Amino acid sequence: MKFNRAISRNAAIALAVCAAFGSACVMAADTLPASPKFLKMDKNHDGFITRDEAVGIRWYDQAFDEADENKDGRLDQTEFVKAEAIQDRLAASHYASDTALKAKVKVALLKERGLKSRDLDLEVVGGEVLLSGFVRDEGQRSRALHAANSVTGVASVRDGMVVK
């Protein structure tokens, strides 16, 4: 009997200690300072990020919509953390898509006869392809642009090539 009472008393003390520390952690989480990015984006310093304050950040529209849990058109600090995670996930997804698209465009350029595709550089961001480098004549430029535009998934092609 004494053994069971000792365990019960110890369990009660342990539970009380855990509860005390748990509530301290919750209270500390409520008073954490805002991240520097949150403070920078909160241009009017009202403690919220609005759509207007998030304009110009790539892939933030979708992240904003998903993170705005109460649908009030603004993000508090908790929603902001969620939006940041969603935006990071979207950026990684787009990066993987752009990398695969870049490989497809390189293959299309390599297949193009009469084109020294190794003299060309290409970058892909958001499905937009930038071709740069040197070509011998306008015919090569035209073939390179056509090859890049023919790849499925290419949104647009920008010409940064120079005829030498």
76-110 residue pLDDT tens: 999 999 999 999 999 889 899 999 999 999 999 99
Q: What is the CATH number of the domain that holds 157?
A: 3.30.1340.30
In a domain, residue 152? The reply is: yes
- Cα distance between residue 99 and residue 97, in whole Å: 5
From the CA atom positions of the chain, what is the Rg in Å? 28
Which tokens hold the place of 163?
């005829």
Any domain includes 107: yes
**Residue 102 is assigned to a structural domain of this protein:** yes
- Which of 18-34 are b and which e, b meaning 16 or more Cβ less than 10 Å from the residue's Cβ? eeeeeeeeeeeeeeeee
Classify strands 128-135 and 156-163 as parallel, antiparallel or unpaired.
parallel
C-alpha span between 3 and 136 (Å, rounded):
92
First-last CA distance in the chain: 96
Q: Would you state the pLDDT for residue 28?
A: 46
Q: Give the tens place of pLDDT for each residue, 109-151.
A: 999 988 888 889 999 998 999 999 999 999 999 999 999 999 9
**Of the given ranges (23-27, 132-136, 153-157), which has the lowest mean pLDDT?**
23-27
Tell whether 71 is covered by a domain.
Answer: no
In a domain, 154, yes or no: yes
Does residue 56 lie within any of the structural domains? no
Whether 106 is covered by a domain: the verdict is yes
For 149, the domain range is 95-163
Q: Are 101 and 130 in contact (CB under 8 A)?
A: no
Task: Flag whether 141 is in a domain.
Answer: yes
Residue type at 104 in one-letter notation: K
Residue 49 scores a pLDDT above 90: yes
* Domain count of the fold of the chain: 2
